[in-house]
Amino acid sequence: MALGKGERPLTIAYFDCFAGISGDMLLGALIDLGVDPDLLYRGLASLGLEGYSLAFSQVKKAGLRGTRALVQVTAAAGVEHRSLATIEQLIRGSTVPPMAQELARAVFRRLAGAEALVHGIPVESVHFHEVGAVDSIVDIVGSAIGLTSLGITRAYFSPLNTGRGFVRSAHGFLPVPAPATLELLRGAPVYSGDVETELVTPTGAAFVATLSAGFGPLPLMRVLKVGYGAGTKDLPFPNLLRITLGEEQEPLADRWSGLESDRAFMLEANLDDMNPQFYEVVSFRLFEAGALDVFLTPVQMKKSRPGTVLSVLAPPEKVDGLSKVIFRETTTLGLRYYEVSRRKLVREFLNLNTHFGPITIKVGRLGPSVVNVAPEYSDCRRIALERGIPIKEVHGAALQAAWRELGMPPVADGS
């Protein structure tokens, strides 16, 4: 994130999952961060669910304090195997705030997609068992209300301790991580540790898959609050989910140098069997879907075949959408992605009238100094084609106009 002049830092959250993550741990950590329990009670009451109670208490896990969220279900709740459509209808008919509704539905859709894949059935045929039960609905909707109320802009996660062994489910005993959990954690860094128990539940994994803007160590931030949500089991280490809430900071080097900084993801795919004529359309589709940059690099692949690396620079929130474009538009069977940090000149845009017509100028500043001036190529190209004149003449005129506007000495034609 770039901290521009007059802008407020973004509120980010870092989820430290050294003991995994589950719905009740997430709910407890949010209350520990200061979310008002009454906000949750009011929203959950509007769902019209019966036969449950939700309470919060302070507990200790391996000597550390945390908040325990306890959902108790009575016989009055009954046993229902709810479909995704039923749960979404339940949420839409409530007074839960719109952003929280959207997040809760997204989490349930992630769960439904994972269950459908591992059981080999259509999403419409998925009927949740444990996840469709009252306690899981309370965990997911309650956590969605709490998360959206904190004004979190981005969420980052540590590598996830999944645990190991077997867990009992409605389908019998399943290996840990459970198949749906592991499906939801595609692309996430995970490890099993030495504890034979389930530490990452499907609900916890669905929140990770829905929220994560990246994985790794604690990002640079000014810490505002820390919350601990307790799990049910007693483990050799603190069975807690720790959430650190803070303001995202730019590196001190960037502040001193006058540069902006942010984070993005690099998506890459190796291609050796695609018609090169297709690359123009692929690039167009990727930019259309929100790519920051798209470029091609020639490489030599296995068996000495010439190939091309398609590289796509993506904002964190566009990774999923751009990945789908790559799979739809190219012949690749897989891609890799990783987080990158960027440093950028502070940019501004000038709309100048030249004797050829209006042209947009991109200006790059390093602190107070202008170090780069570039006329917008598409404007120059359009005018050159419309008037039947060399593009270098249009570009040169735009560059001269830009320097005059900026109060700098005229320069030679940039062509």
Element (H, E) at 404: helix 391-406
Which of 319, 344, 369 is the last residue before a domain boundary? 344
Rounded average pLDDT over 1-13: 52
Are 231 and 218 part of one and the same domain? yes
pLDDT, residue 124, reads 73
pLDDT, residue 321, reads 92
pLDDT digits (tens, 9 = 90+) for 162-175: 999 988 876 678 89
Is pLDDT above 70 for 304? yes
pLDDT digits (tens, 9 = 90+) for 218-231: 888 899 999 999 99
Identify the domain containing residue 352 by its residue range.
Answer: 346-406
How much is the CA Rg of the chain, to the nearest whole Å? 26
Spell out the alpha helix ranges (H) of 215-335: 252-257, 279-288, 319-329
Which 8-state DSSP code applies to residue 117? H
Give a yes or no: residue 185 inside a domain.
yes
Give the highest mean pLDDT range of 76-90, 127-141, 357-371: 357-371
pLDDT digits (tens, 9 = 90+) for 48-98: 988 889 999 999 999 999 999 999 887 655 556 778 888 999 999 999 999
Cβ–Cβ < 8 Å for 309, 297: yes
Buried b (16+ CB within 10 A) or exposed e, 156-194: bbbebbbbbeeeeeeeeebebbbbbbbbbbeebebeebe
Are 225 and 79 part of one and the same domain? yes
Is pLDDT above 70 for 302? yes
Are 299 and 338 part of one and the same domain? yes
Rounded average pLDDT over 274-283: 95
pLDDT digits (tens, 9 = 90+) for 282-297: 999 999 999 999 999 9
pLDDT, residue 314, reads 94
Q: Side by side, which strands form the sheet with 336-344? A: 293-300, 306-314, 260-271, 336-344
Are 34 and 135 part of one and the same domain? yes
Which of 249, 274, 306 is the last residue before a domain boundary? 249
pLDDT, residue 1, reads 26
Reported as a pLDDT band with limits 50, 70 and 90, residue 303 is: confident
Give a yes or no: residue 359 inside a domain.
yes
The amino acid occupying position 294 is V
Give a yes or no: residue 61 inside a domain.
yes
Number of folded domains in the chain? 3
Are 15 and 139 part of one and the same domain? yes
pTM over cut 0.75: no
